[in-house]
Amino acid sequence: MLNPWEIKGKTFFEKLGGLHWFWIGILLCLSILIPTLHPIGLPISTTKWTEDAYIAIKNAPKDKVIIWEDMWGMSATAAAEAAHTAVMRILFANNKPFIMYAEAVDTPQLQQYITEKVLKTAEAQGKVYGVDWVQLGFIAGGEGAIVSIAEDIHSAFKTDYYGTPLDKLPLMAKIRNYEDVGLVISSFGSTTWIESSVRQWYIKYNLPIVSYTMTGGATVSVAYYPNKGVVGIIEGGRGGAELEFLGKVYGIAQSQTDAKTLSFAIVAVMIVVGNISYFGSRGKKKNG
């Protein structure tokens, strides 16, 4: 596996399928690096479910709080940064108070990183921590934690992520339990967590959910969309780019969509090449 110059195979078709992983990786890295450094500006389309997600956030009840439950981790910063930033900027731009909490151990660090970035944007000017948003930190227990939070958030958390008691945060006085929640944004770096959110937030308390999932996760979330709990879907980096366009909060997603387009196209081409090699080699073996 170590010699990148080695191309296995005797015939042309066998050699076509014998490329070393190094060259494929280099091709992919270039397809990601070049548009990231110099965005090409390829057009993108928006999907109905992202538009619905944006509308749901915009139209969330003003007298209630938005809960943002988050499971993305630091390892997925590159994938999560665009959409996390866009969601937060849209929440600020539309003056929607929100509370973030984490269901994975390294999510608070990601939330902190994103918050520091967003606070430098125009949408965050004038926003006050404790009044416009609160970061609660990590809670263990998975789906059981949702129950605790939904029934009594002040029992589930005594302080926020920075150690401030909740009674010192004005926003926390407005929320006791699920009755004070207008919308749930369920973000997770997997595909199946949405089922837990639907079970707990929607089935029990009839709260609408915006599903913010990783690329490919819409296939699971769509089972509950548009009227079985999930009112909108934000799918990975593409969803982030669409949100930036819809909310006019332009950021890094444009270069990411260019990079995604090129890299996905290359993967698709490689799969086709692999199959041409397979069928070509088989044909030769049958004839010869």
Partner 1 sequence: MSFTYKSFIPQILLSAIIIVVLLEYVLPAGPLTAVKNELTLWLTLIGSFTFFVAGTTLVLKYSRDLIRTKKLSSVHFYAIEFFVVFLSYIGISFLTGGPSGKSYTYLYQNLQGQLLQAGWVIMAFLEPWAAYKAFQVRSIEAIILAITGFTYLLFNAPSISAAIPIIGTFANWIINVPSLAGTRGATIALAVGTILLALRMLTGKERGLTD
Partner 2 sequence: MLNIDQAIKFYCVINMMIVRPGKEIEIVFLLISVAIYLYWVRRSTGVKPIPSLRNFPAIDAILEGVGRSVETNQPVHFGLGESSALSADQAAGTISALNFLSYTARACARAGAKLVIRISPNPHLYTQADALVTEAYVAEGKQQELDKLFTLRYHGDARSYMTRGIHDMDELGTAMNVTMGALSVETIWAFAVCRMKGGIGVGGGSRWGMVFGLAMLADYSLLGEEMYAASAKISGDRTMTTSFLGGDWLKYVLIGLIIIAGIATIAGRYDLVSWIFKR
d(CA 197, CA 32): 34
d(CA 191, CA 214): 7
Candidates 7, 24, 34, 55: give the one binding partner 1 (CB under 8 A): 24
Q: Is 191 in the site for partner 2 (CB under 8 A)?
A: yes
From the CB of 168, what's the least distance to partner 1, in Å?
A: 15
Element containing residue 241 per DSSP (H, E)? helix 236-247
Candidates 58, 132, 215, 280: give the one binding partner 1 (CB under 8 A): 215
For residue 196, the SS3 value is: helix
Is the torsion defined by CA of 52, 57, 251, 79 positive or negative?
negative
For residue 212, the SS3 value is: strand
Residue 190 binds which entry of partner 2, partner 1, none, CB below 5-8 Å type-dependent: partner 2
Q: Is 244 in the site for partner 1 (CB under 8 A)?
A: no
Residue 273 binds which entry of partner 1, partner 2, none, CB below 5-8 Å type-dependent: partner 1
From the CB of 95, what's the least distance to partner 1, in Å?
A: 26
Pairing of strands 98-102, 65-70: parallel
Site map 166..195 versus partner 1, x via CB under 8 A? -----------------------------x
Q: Is 155 in the site for partner 1 (CB under 8 A)?
A: yes
Candidates 1, 116, 163, 286: give the one binding partner 2 (CB under 8 A): 1
From the CB of 79, what's the least distance to partner 1, in Å?
A: 8
Which residue lies nearer to partner 1 by CB, 208 or 237? 237
